[in-house]
Structures are given as C-alpha cells and as structure tokens.
A and B are shown apart, each in its own frame.
Chain A
Amino acid sequence: MAGLQLLSEYGLRVDGRRPNELRQIRCKMGVFSQPDGSAYLEQGNTKVLAAVYGPHEVRLNRSKTHHDRAYINCQFSMAVFSTSERKRRPRGDRKSQEMDMNLNQIFESAIRTELYPRSRIDIYLEVLQADGSNFSACVNAATLALIDAGIPLKDYVCSCTSTLAPSQGGAPPTPMVDVNHVEETLGGPGLNMSTLPRLDSVVHLELSGTRLHLSHIDPVAEKASTGAADIMAVLDKAVRGHVAQCLHARELSGQGADA
C-alpha cells in the first residue's frame, strides 16, 4: 500500500468522499421479534445489529440492582467473519470489555434510568462487517434499538469518529469525518465522540491510534461533533419513517383497534 494517500490532490479520500462527507447510512428498526427493541444499521460497509431487552427484573445477580435506577448491561461482540482475517475471540478480551464499559457509561448517561428502579436493561450489539467506525456504528444502532423498545432517552445518542489527514505540500492537515477501515489502520489519530446533539452534551470522548498535536484538537473535535449532529438528522428521519409505517400498517390491519 505504498503511496496510498488518505487525501488525494483533488481533495478526495480513498473511497471518493470529501473530508466532510459521511458514508451512506441505511437503517431498519424492529428487525427481530424476540427482543423488545432491535435495529440494523449500515454505515457505508460497516454493518451492525442491535437488540435491546428491557426493562425487566434482575434475576440472576441481585447484587447488581440499584434501588433508584435501572442497571444497564451492554455487550459488544464482533462476529468472527466481520474482519478480513477470522477473529479469534468475538467477545471477552480486553478491548471488547473496554467497549462494553464505554457503552455502559454512554447509555447510563443517556437513558432515563431513574424511571425504572430495580430493573435491568440489556443491550446486545453484533458487528457483522467491520469497515471502520465500529464503535460509532454500534452506538447509533443501539440508540435506534432503544427507541424501538420504547425506552425513554434524554436525546438521540449519536457517535462519530474523525481523523486528521497528514499535511500535504504545505497545506495544513485536514480533519476528516467518519473514518473507514483503511483510514483507521493507516495510522493517524481517531477521535471518537458520542454526543446528545440537541442538548449539546458530550457523553463520551476517546482518542485512539497515534498521537494528535494539541493545536489540531479543535478542528478534529468540531468535525466529529458536526458529524454526530448530521447523523442525528438521518436517524431522526428513519425513526419517523418507521413510526409512520407502523401506524399505517396498524390502520390497514384493523380499524386502528388498540390492543
């Protein structure tokens, strides 16, 4: 891959996008019948499934019950066929545990847990194809699944990863939004930001990859933040479309009779 530039001289990235373009997002809610809420999200080639169970009684581990709020349990798993080389440990290794922990913290801040004391909400995520921004796609899919389950949230939780293309020919380095696999692995820092866009609140911030100079932090963070806001617009449209469809289907099936 010698000579592969993250940003060509025409200002195009490796997959033909401009630095401020998101990948195409396709999503579907209510894909499974067993979980209370489920969603399927595609962000470019990254494909994620999310399933939500809850709120329900804490059965096995009574010590995990909180008297005043719900206990959130997230499990992040990558399918063994999701990466180019077969993944040996889909979950349970340190990196996955860290993702679990981050997801827990994000959704504890975003879900209105005080409405469900002594209960438990489980969120299961499965990455079917990993093409960069896996964590962000998971957060977005989980948001949709939670909305499908009817669990009250403070706001949409939208997540986006941005990076910095190295400077070329004297130009300052350009921040790029929504990284794909090539951009992630070729080095360069990856700033992952999860926000509640309407409340202008940051719930999670993480820097991975190589080092990032302090002077470049602002443009990269700004890019991630606007990326998340743009993703919210897409998710919002999808949710409204899904609800309209459900209502329409219900009307068609039986005089709008409420069960």
Chain B
Amino acid sequence: MKEPIISNCEKAFLLEAISESRRLDGRGMFDYRDLSIRFGKDYGCCEVSMGQTRVLGQVSCEIQQPKATRPNEGLLLINVGLSPMGAPHFETGRQSISSIQLNRLLEKCIKDSKCIDLESLCIVAEEKVWCIRLDLNILNHEGNLIDCASVAALAALSHFRRPDVELTSEGLIIYEAAVKEPIPLGIKHTPICVSFAIFNKGKNIVVDPSELEERVAEAEFTLGVNGYKELCGVHLSGSTQSGPTIVRQCANKALKRAVSVVALIKETLAKDSELRGSNTERGFVECVRQGTITSHGTPKICLPIKHKLPVETMEASHEDESSCDEVEVIGSGTVELKNSSVLATDTAEQVMEVEAKPKVEEISLSDDENEVQILSD
C-alpha cells in the first residue's frame, strides 16, 4: 500500500500552527510525549511506548564462530522489523527507505560506537563466541520511530542476561538459569537517539515529532548522544538553511533528554529486578489487564484555545451547531466555545477536536466522552 497523501490544507495548517509555536496535539515545541518502558517475563524483552508509537525489543543469544577479522570479539546483530502492523504502508520485504535508515542509524549508534563490550563475549578465541541478536519490532507508528527504537534497544540490552558458561576439559558447559545466575552484558556507555523536525527554513525546531509533523517537515535531524556528552551518531535528511549551527542548538537539548531517558531506564530496571526478587507477577500480564498495552485512547488532535484571535464569522458555520450553544469561528481551523456554563467551570483553556478544514462546516465530535459532554451542555 502506498503512504496516504497529505492534503495541502493539512500541510498548510500544520505549518501555520508551527510558525506560531503551536503543535497539533497541544504539546509545547520542546515537550516530549510520555515515555513508558515495560519489561517482559524473559530477560531482554521490553516494550517502549512514546505516546502512541510502540516498539517491542527482544534480545537473544547463541554461540557461533566469530568473524575472521575479529577473532576475539563477540557478535552483535541489530535488526529492526517494519511489519504492516505498525503502519499500512510498511512492507514485510525489508527494502524500504525508512527501514534501512532505522537499521543503519541504530547500528551506528549502538554497534559502531562500541556501546556493548564485545570482547567479554568471547569464549574460545577464533572458535566460539556469543552472538547477541537484538530484534526490534515496530508495533505502532505515530512518529519518531528512531527515538523509540533506540530506547527499546538500550533497555532490552541492559535488561538481558546471558547464560553462564564454563570451559572444561570435556567441552563447553552452558548452565541453565536455575543452576547458575545468568550474567548481564557489559554496557560501556548509554547512547540514545533524539530526533528533531525542522520547519520554516530552520526557524522552528520541534522535538519528538508526530507522524504528520515528520512528513511535513523540511528536514529531520537525529542525534545519538550518550551520558558522557559524546555524539554517537548524527543524521540530517532534507534541507535546512541554518547551516552548521543547527548541531549545537539541538545538541544541548538532546543531551538533557538522553540523561533523563537513561535515568528512567535505570529506574525501571531497578523496579523490575525488585519484582523478580520478590517473586510477584511481572511482565506484560499487568499491562494487558489494565489495558495499557493494547489500547489506544488519546484523542488525535487537540487545539488548546488560549487567547482570542480577531473574530471573523463564517457563513455556513452557525447552521450545524445546534448541539452547541454559541460557537464563534475565529479564523480558519480554530473555534472558541462561548458557552458560559462551561467557562464557569474549571477549564482556563477549552480543548476541542476540530477537523483541519479551511472552512469550518461541521465540528466533529470525538469519541472521548468528556468532549461530548462539554459540547452538549
């Protein structure tokens, strides 16, 4: 399937909003979506979600012959799988541009920057080494796959434990987890990718872009940073007129984000090891019960109306709004609710779902119950 085409008015609407420093989902220009990390029952399995973008990571290991050029080092293979489950335009034949980009960027960030200590994975030089395989699956694509995938990769690698081995005169003994405690991987530094979308000739930079923002942006800039303020990977695609200064501008923000993400990973790891120690239920079971792992509940476009813009009433607007008391259309695509009863209650800003059309002919009601209540008051 082809990627759905974005209409010109959607593009124009988004660009106009960004130039006024507003984003379609109500976030600030430098606000990130909620990041949550959940670990599964096995070591090395984790699911990361940034807003609605979800990535599942799984680490596995086996014993193999090392590469001829590096006989003392273990092997690390990273594979990102884009299946049509994530987005309808993904194809299973792993040839598309985005899949190559994701794979290469993660490889650069994690493999080429030597984040995992590969020499400790050697069992017998030139004969047997551990081959660590990291598989990431994109479960849902709502923008910013690179960030989410890099967090999933790092979390899965930090969580993983490989079996303990012993080389005896008879041969190699691989101990089961019950017999000998499995060993975690040696992680030398913690690289995280942070993405920025650039609009309006480099004047507006947005952090953690959503899918629509990614497609409309004139350039997308990804930085791989670690906790030691080192850059592990840089990738700029598209064309931006801000020149070399863009790197410095984004680098500091990326660093702060990387530090907070790594802290979150460590915290979640600590909680998980506590749970394992106390022998309670762990893994995705709780998440499935609460409906957090499979549900999709947040509204897509929320426009917070914070201040009045010059009023221009449109002709066709008033007829369809019999369900609302008084709605005045202000400019294209923004609506202010003048219902006094609602104003009297808590909201300093009214959040409504509006379809992005230049002429507001009807207001679509969201599935969210709260919104319906406000409109029907």
Contact = CB atoms under 8 A, between A and B. Distances in A.
Contact of A208 (B112, B225, B237, B243): B112
A109 interface: yes
Contact of A209 (B112, B221, B239, B248): B112
Interface in A103-151: 104-105, 109-110
A191 interface: yes
Nearest to B98: A101
Contacts of B104: 94-95, 98
Contacts of A200: 241, 243
A218 interface: yes
Given A98-B101, A101-B100, A110 B234 contact: no
B247 A221 contact: yes
A206 B238 contact: no
A246 interface: no
A203 B241 CA distance: 9
B229 A214 contact: yes
B82 to A, nearest CB: 14
A18 B101 CA distance: 35
A215 B229 contact: yes
Interface in A34-82: 63
Give the one of A94, A98, A102 with max B CB within 10 A.
A98
B244 A204 contact: no
Nearest to A195: B243
Contacts of B189: 211
Interface string A210-237: 1111110110011011000000000000
Contact of A225 (B233, B238, B243): B243
A94 B237 CA distance: 18
Interface in B210-242: 221, 225-226, 228-242
B103 interface: yes
Interface of B: 2, 95, 97, 100-101, 103-104, 108, 112-114, 189, 221, 225-226, 228-244, 246-248, 251, 255
A211 B101 contact: no
17 contacts: A94-B104, A98-B104, A102-B237, A105-B238, A200-B241, A202-B242, A203-B239, A205-B247, A207-B108, A207-B235, A209-B112, A211-B232, A214-B225, A214-B231, A214-B255, A217-B251, A218-B244
A257 interface: no
Contact of A213 (B97, B221, B231): B231
Contact of A94 (B103, B246, B251): B103
A160 to B, nearest CB: 12
Contacts of B238: 105, 109, 203
A247 B200 CA distance: 41
Give the one of B104, B113, B221, B251 with max A CB within 10 A.
B104
B155 to A, nearest CB: 20
Contact of B236 (A199, A204, A215): A204
A204 B243 CA distance: 10
Nearest to A223: B244
Contacts of A191: 234
Given A110-B239, A196-B239, A101 B233 contact: no
A201 B235 CA distance: 15
A153 B152 CA distance: 40
Contacts of B97: 101, 104
Contacts of A214: 225, 229-231, 251, 255
A213 B238 CA distance: 25
A200 B112 CA distance: 30
B241 A199 contact: yes
Given A201-B240, A213-B231, A214-B251, 5 more contacts: A94-B104, A193-B244, A205-B236, A207-B235, A209-B112
A97 interface: yes
Contacts of B101: 98, 101
A63 B100 contact: no
B247 A201 contact: no
Given A101-B101, A200-B243, A221-B247, A213 B229 contact: yes
